[in-house]
Amino acid sequence: MSIILQTERLLLREILDTDLEGMFALDNNPNVHRYLGKNPILTIDKSQEYINNIREQYVAHGIGRYAVILKETNQFIGWCGIKYITEPENGHVNFHEIGYRFIEDYWGKGYGYESAKAWLDYGFNTMNIKTIYASAHIDNKGSRHILGKLGMQTKNEFEWNKIPCIWFELENKTI
Ligand SMILES: CC(C)(COP(=O)(O)OP(=O)(O)OC[C@H]1O[C@@H](n2cnc3c(N)ncnc32)[C@H](O)[C@@H]1OP(=O)(O)O)[C@@H](O)C(=O)NCCC(=O)NCCS
């Protein structure tokens, strides 16, 4: 059964093949990829591969990145969600990471925080995850601000694919 979450302004649902155009608009923009290794997607086929990969994670781990839809207009504005990471990163492996990415037109409206808060609560209260992790480019003020506002603690600086990053963690106090 697929997960659907709702916030005041947003619907969070599985990413579908019908989101292809939105996913390409998102990842084709160099500004979106400024702190993600400066490697925007150049072909729609790559976006389809990306969607396929996300959908495989739902099957493999029961969770992953989810589409963020504006309730008012039913528009796809980006993604947010908890990914189960199986590759080593900053000395961790097999852990849950929260992340998000939005189409530039929708930045600065609180959607990043609103969607991430919903997923953090879901991860702790419904999935009973012990610790949720996140990382951001050290200069990515927007992302760092969201993670701080969520109450996540900064741990250390590290390099990921040559990108200087900050590592964040938050423990589930209820388990
Ligand atoms: C980073 C990103 C997710 C932020 O999302 P957003 O929806 O614009 O963020 P919000 O509107 O929820 O902002 C949350 C807080 O951060 C602040 N903020 C957002 N962008 C900021 C920026 N560039 N500089 C400083 N503060 C910023 C907001 O003012 C807000 O603060 P407040 O709650 O105290 O008012 C969005 O810019 C994005 O998708 N960027 C491209 C992809 C990316 O970098 N993803 C993160 C990878 S770690």
Mean pLDDT for 5-18 is 98
Q: Is the CB of 100 under 6 A from ligand 1?
A: yes
- Nearest-Å Rg of the Cα atoms of the chain is 15
User: Is a pLDDT exceeding 90 seen at residue 146?
Assistant: yes
Mean pLDDT of the chain: 97
- The pTM is what? 0.98
134 lines ligand 1 (CB under 6 A): no
Of ligand 1's atoms, which has the minimum distance to the CA of residue 78? 39
User: What would the mean pLDDT of 42-70 be, rounded to a whole number?
Assistant: 98
For ligand 1, atom 4, name the residue with the nearest CA: 142
- pLDDT for res 175: 86
* 70-94 average pLDDT score: 98
Q: Mutate which of 79, 103, 138, 143 to test ligand 1's pocket (most atoms within 8 Å of Cβ)?
A: 143
Residue 173: CB partners within 8 Å, gap ≥ 6?
none
Ligand 1 atom at shortest distance from the alpha carbon of 101: 39
Ligand 1, atom 19, lies closest to the CA of: 142
Q: Which has more confidence, 142 or 1? A: 142
pLDDT tier, 28 (very low <50, low <70, confident <90, very high otherwise): very high
Residue bearing the CA closest to ligand 1, atom 35: 110
Token couple for 19:
């989101």
> What is the C-alpha to C-alpha distance for residues 120 and 168, in angstroms, rounded to an integer?
13
Q: Which atom of ligand 1 is nearest to the CA of 136?
A: 48
Beta-bridge mates of residue 98: 82
